[in-house]
Structure formats: C-alpha cells, structure tokens
Amino acid sequence: MALISNGTTIFDAGAMASGFGGSMTFIKKLTASNSGTLSFVNGASNVVLDGTYKEYLFTFNNIHPVTNGTLFHWNMSIDGGTNYNVQKTTTTFRPFHYETASDTPEWAYATDQDLANGTGFQTLVQGLGNANDENSSGTLQLFNPSSTTFVKHFMSSVNMQHTSSAPASVNWNAAGYGNTTSAVNAVQFKMASGNIDAGVICLYGIA
C-alpha cells in the first residue's frame, strides 16, 4: 500500500520516500576495546560499502592507543578484507602547535608519512600519546569506492595530542588515491604498534 499526499508518494512498498531521514545515513559503529584492528567489510555485520552511496564518511572519536607514540593508520581492500594492500599515492601535512606557547609552531609536509604507489597502511596521525586524556578525533572521506572506472580518492583530517615528550596539538591532513579501478569493498584501521585501547569509529553513507 502506498501513502500518497497531494500527488506525492510518502510511503511505497514499505519504504519511506527520500524526504525522510536526511542525506547522511548512519551505517555502522565499531567500538575499540583493546582491539588489534577495526574493519568495515561490505556485506558483513550490516556494513554497506558499495555502490549504494557515492561517498562514505568515517568519523573517529577519542581513539586511544595502548602504545605511546604510535601511529594510527588505515588501508583498503578489493577482495572483501582478505588483503588490505591497495596501492596508494598520497600527501600528508600537519600544523603542529606545542602546549608551551614559547615554542615555535610548525607547518610542514610529512615526507615520512606519505606513500608513492605504496601498498602499506596510510597514516592518519603519528606520534599519538597514550596518557589517559590523550586521543585523536577526526574524519575520513572515501569517494565512490565501488567505481570500476576511476581511482579511489580520499581525504582525511584528524587532530591529536602528541606524546607528553612534546605535548602539542597536531592536525594531520592526508589525501590521495587508491590507484585501482577495482571496487574497494573493505577498509581496515589499526595502530602501527600495539592495539587500539579505546575509541569509536562510525561509518556513514552520504546520499
């Protein structure tokens, strides 16, 4: 049964028209608890990461590492999560402002955190502290991962507290492309060393 108001279909075949719910759809939340990896695999555990949306947004809330000074990074898969090793070319830069006001802020390209057609995990933040209040939060946009025509562009911006050896606010910006025309159907996040102690990663689809 359809519900039609003044010629506009409100409900049809049990589904709501696009007027409901807005354009940003929550898909999945993963909560770290001393986790080695957090993975979003299309078709598993209610995850959608396919042609349903042209853009996917990951949000990171209070990502806290077990290991002090490690980096938080990610990769893509084209085989449903069997391998996370998509070739990528990326840029990475960050403004760096110390808690000690007299120290000079830095703003520089991070040549040691980008990839040149590398298959390794791409850094989101580096030097993340593990003191009780230290964490990182931010976003990652992944565009049209299911395309079989285009490379897979992404942009991330994540802020973090640097380790207590040099306490600072650091805003990491990484962007680039997965250099493949195969559909990307899984994404994995992990620390370079040690587990993800706590934190939440949410996945949204943008209509």
Partner 1 sequence: MGVISNGTTLLDAGALDSGVPTGAMTLIKTLTASSSATLDFLNGASSVVFDDTYKEYLFKFINIHPATDVRNLTFQVDTGTNTNYNQTMTTTQFNAQANEADDSTGLGYNASGDQAQGSAFQSIMDRVGNDADSCVVGTLTIFNPSSSVFAKHFMATCQAEQTAESRQFFTAGYVNTTTALTRIRFKMSSGNIDSGLIKMYGIV
Nearest in space to 124 (alpha carbons), one of 88, 164, 151: 88
The answer to whether residue 8 forms part of the interface with partner 1 (CB under 8 A) is: yes
Q: Are 26 and 53 in contact (CB under 8 A)?
A: no
- The neighbour count for residue 31, using CB atoms within 10 Å, is 13
In the chain, count H helices and then E strands.
Answer: 0, 16
Query: Tokens 């990896």 appear where?
Result: 37
Query: Reduced to 3 states, what is the DSSP secondary structure of residue 200?
Result: strand
Where does this chain touch partner 1 (CB under 8 A) — which range of 59-67, 132-140, 146-154, 160-168? 146-154
Cβ at position 157, least distance to partner 1 in Å: 8
Residue 16, CA atoms < 13 Å, CB-side half-sphere: 5
Query: Least distance to partner 1 from the beta carbon of 54, Å?
Result: 5
Nearest of 139, 1, 140, 166 to residue 68 by alpha carbon: 166
Position 134 contacts partner 1 (CB under 8 A): no
Q: Which of 173, 188, 194, 200 binds partner 1 (CB under 8 A)?
A: 173
| Binding-site member from 41, 143, 163, 169 for partner 1 (CB under 8 A) | 143
Question: Minimum distance from CB of 164 to partner 1 (Å)?
Answer: 27
Contact pattern for partner 1 over residues 87 through 126, marking x by CB under 8 A:
--xxxxx-------------xxx-x--x-xx---------
Residue with Cβ nearer partner 1 (68 or 146):
146
Stretch that binds partner 1, among 30-38, 58-66, 170-178, 189-197 (CB under 8 A): 170-178
What end-to-end distance do the CA atoms of the chain give, in Å?
A: 25
Sign of the Cα pseudo-torsion (117, 122, 124, 130, in order): negative
Positions touching partner 1 (CB under 8 A) are 3-8, 10, 18-24, 54-55, 89-93, 107-109, 111, 114, 116-117, 141, 143-144, 147, 149-151, 153-155, 173, 175-177, 179, 181, 206-207
